[in-house]
A and B are shown apart, each in its own frame.
Chain A
Amino acid sequence: MALPIYATPLERIWYYTFRVICALIFLFLIAPILIVIPLSFNAEPYFTFTEKMLALDPTGYSTRWYDLLLTFGMAQPDVVRDSSWWADAWANSAWINAAKNSVIIGFFSTLLATFLGTLAALGLSRPEMPFRRVIMAVLISPMIVPIIITATGLFFFYSATGLANSYIGIIMAHATLGIPFVIITVTATLVGFDQTLTQAAASLGANPTTTFFRITMPLILPGVISGALFAFVTSFDEVVVVLFVAAHDQQTIPRQMWNGIREQISPAILSVATILVIVSIALLTTVELLRRRSERMRGLTPG
């Protein structure tokens, strides 16, 4: 909305003030996330810009904290960096092991959440679904119920059933936390779904399975994938359930970060944070592209 020509001087002032205020709020939103990137290249163990950094002196910057991520926990970090050094890092580095655990747990919980969530979303989107509202409320509730309550409940339940300290237990818990996101994104895709397409497929002789895989699936796929990405991020960022039900040696990236922040925060945390910010930028880009693709396919206004 451009400034109309009949605007009074006061309105002109407000027009620009409003934009300045908005710019400051956007800065408040984004600055904390971007600030960690330059700080993670600090050559000194401080959390602020040193004078050398401000003067853009190359000696003020270093990748030592990224190096520490690799070497921390290694058996022999100081030997020549040949293939055996890398093998040592792969096997023993604490952060690499945490990343491996996070990826394994994230992958399987996403798979579980996406499969079950998509099926349920298909059922919930049918007009004849009984108790639709109540069931929807129950399935969304893991997102609403405070994580500490879920973790407490899981702790009691897993201790009683022997699922504590197991990968399966964590994967199931993380899948539950990811399911609301899958249901929300997939049902959102199904809201604009043209039912005559499946009827047309059926009238042309396709059986329900073929109709699903050839007609429905390609159309809802963008929603399914963004739901899956949400579920993965939820698992990849989850720390409370892991703290409550996982064994001590089951470290994940967020748990390592949690311990790092609680005990002694070192700039190595900032280098992990930087990597995670880059990952989230990649994920956001993917989701945006998927959303636009979905809108194009369903003939909605292009974003």
Chain B
Amino acid sequence: MSDASTVPDQTGPLKTADGKPLKSALAAAQAHRTRRAFYLVAPLLFFVLITFLLPIGQMLTMSVNNSSFYSWLDRDTGEKIPLMVELREWFDETPAGTEPDEAAYAALVSGLVHARDVKAAGQIGTRINYDVSRTRSLFTKTARKAPKMEPPYKEALLDADEDWANPRLWGAMRNASKAFTIDFYLSALDRTRDDQGNIVKIDEERAVYLLLFKRTLIMSALITFMTLLLGFPIAHLLAILPLRHSNLLMIFVLLPFWTSLLVRTTSWIVLLQSQGVVNDLWVSLGIISDEGRLQMIYNQTGTIIAMTHILLPFMVLPLYSVMRPIDPSYVRAARSLGATSWTAFRRIYLPQTIPGIGAGGLLVFILSVGYYITPALVGGSTGQLISNLIAFHMQNSLNWSLAAALASLLLFCVLLLYWLYDRLVGIDNLKLG
């Protein structure tokens, strides 16, 4: 007791050798270590920000970008020239569904003259063409005649082409007159706006996107089920064999995993086409006749077979890593207590493999929802998935905003599944080989 009274700062906070309170010194050291760890990750985070997150962000902006009718980018000067200024003002002042008056027609003509001067008539026409088909030529054709038009403009325009009185055309122009819009999302969900600006379903025969989303989900579910059906037995076999043998058999799973996707897709084309190896084999075995060769490629069947093969390793590997540590004595105990081998499997073994089924199933489903290459090469017209439609709008129809809207919806689905995967499985548990 007397010793304690000789130590001066006994009641104050503990201090380090250089006189700082121990608590803050510890906190400083901890903060220093945290910073060090973060600095190691920072370069990569910055890199991924530039090459991945910003591009995705730009795609999301593109999906609401409605600038084709709004402004024209001069490639030489990089200047943005506003288009259809007077007509847009008229749209702003009048409610949706207003019958276009002489002022509106005059604004349209002056807008067309201006668009023709800056060579933007084609761009405007293309934009309206997304909503009302066969109007691109209407715009380019009328823009050529516009400079010579005299008032009254309504008659002049209707003389040039009667389509100018079409209320749907005016509705489309009104929709296009805002710089940003959610209309591309409406199109991506098979919805459109009527003349009054209300959201309505489009005609049955033109509705494709929801159908494709549905087809993508159904086919992905089917492929996931097929990989589980084929992956479960071999993962089980690999898990019960001694390591020496299972490592050897594992090559059968890993070699496809390491082989180029295009090589595997090519192989399936070679195998499944009507003059291909499988059909030849069946004809020579007498299972099918030479005339009755099966069409197994360039349709849904081809896509499902090839994708099941390509994604099978992603099912087998997580299943295997869950099945390997399962103690065989549980099943033996169940058997010794009188369970049949089927009951022991169903009640004891199967429940223990659920984490593996979940991990593999989710991974395969996530990957197949966004698959592009294989359906594009072997899918024909019936085996196309939503990704192929995005590519079509990017490369062929050049409706980039619609492509971006479709891609954003797909991205949303995938991120939802990814979040679920992280919750249930944990990204840390993702293993390769």
Q: How far is the CB of A65 from chain B (nearest CB, A)?
A: 13
**Whole-angstrom distance between the alpha carbons of A126 and B342 in the complex?**
46
Indicate whether A105 reaches chain B with its CB closer than 8 angstroms. no
Docked-complex contact A29 and B237, CB < 8 angstroms: no
CB distance from A227 to the nearest CB of B (A): 9
Query: From B45, which residue of chain A is reached at the shortest CB distance?
Result: A135
Does B369 have its Cβ within 8 Å of any Cβ on chain A?
Answer: yes
A85→B119 CA distance, assembly (Å): 50
Kindly list chain B residues whose C-beta atoms are within 8 Å of the C-beta of A287.
258, 433
Interface residues on B, range: 35 or more
A157 within 8 A of B: yes
Residues 68 to 120 of chain B near chain A (Cβ within 8 Å): none
**A160 touching B259 by the CB < 8 A rule?**
no
Contact B37 A280 (CB under 8 A): no
Which of B1-9, B132-140, B166-174, B249-257 sits within the interface?
B249-257
Question: Which residues of A lie under 8 Å from residue B40 when comparing CB positions?
Answer: 119-120, 122-123, 126
Q: Are A148 and B372 in contact (CB under 8 A)?
A: yes
Query: Across the interface, do B55 and A150 meet the contact criterion of CB distance under 8 Å?
Result: yes
| Interface 9-mer from A68-76, A90-98, A199-207, A255-263 | A255-263
Are B58 and A276 in contact (CB-based, < 8 A)? no
B351 in contact (CB, < 8 A): no
Q: Mark B365-383, 1 if CB is under 8 A from A, else 0.
A: 0110111110001000000
Task: Name the interface residues of B349-404: CB closer than 8 Å to any CB of A.
Answer: 366-367, 369-373, 377, 387, 390-391, 394, 400, 403-404
Q: What mask results when residues 233 to 246 of chain A are scored 1 for a CB within 8 Å of chain B, else 0?
A: 10011011000100
Partner pick for B418 among A128, A141, A148, CB 8 A cutoff: A141
Within 8 A of A (CB), among B214-259: 230, 233-234, 237, 240-241, 243, 247, 249, 251-256, 258-259
Q: CB-CB < 8 A to B410: which residues of A? A: 146, 149
Quick check: is B266 within 8 A (CB to CB) of the other chain?
yes
CA gap between A234 and B59 in the complex, in Å? 23
Which residues on A sit within 8 Å (CB–CB) of B411? Answer: 145-146, 149
Candidates B37, B55, B259; contact of A277 at CB < 8 Å? B259
Instruction: Decide if A146 touches B280 in the complex (CB within 8 Å).
Output: no
**Residues 133 to 192 of chain A near chain B (Cβ within 8 Å):** 133, 135-142, 144-150, 152-158, 160, 172-173, 175-176, 179, 181, 184-185, 187-188
Verify if A297 is at the interface (C-beta below 8 Å from B): no
Which residues of chain B come closer than 8 Å to A155, judged between CB atoms?
Answer: 394
Q: How far is the CA of A173 from the CA of B48 in the complex (A)?
A: 9
Across-interface contacts of A117 in B (CB, < 8 A): 44
Q: Which residues of A contact B (CB under 8 A)?
A: 1, 11, 14, 18-19, 21-22, 25-26, 28-30, 32-33, 35-36, 39, 46-49, 112, 116-117, 119-120, 122-124, 126, 128-130, 133, 135-142, 144-150, 152-158, 160, 172-173, 175-176, 179, 181, 184-185, 187-188, 226, 230, 233, 236-237, 239-240, 244, 254, 257-258, 261-262, 265, 269-270, 273, 276-277, 280-281, 283-284, 287-288, 291, 301, 303
> What are 6 A-B pairs at a CB distance below 8 A?
A144-B414, A147-B370, A149-B59, A153-B52, A176-B47, A230-B432
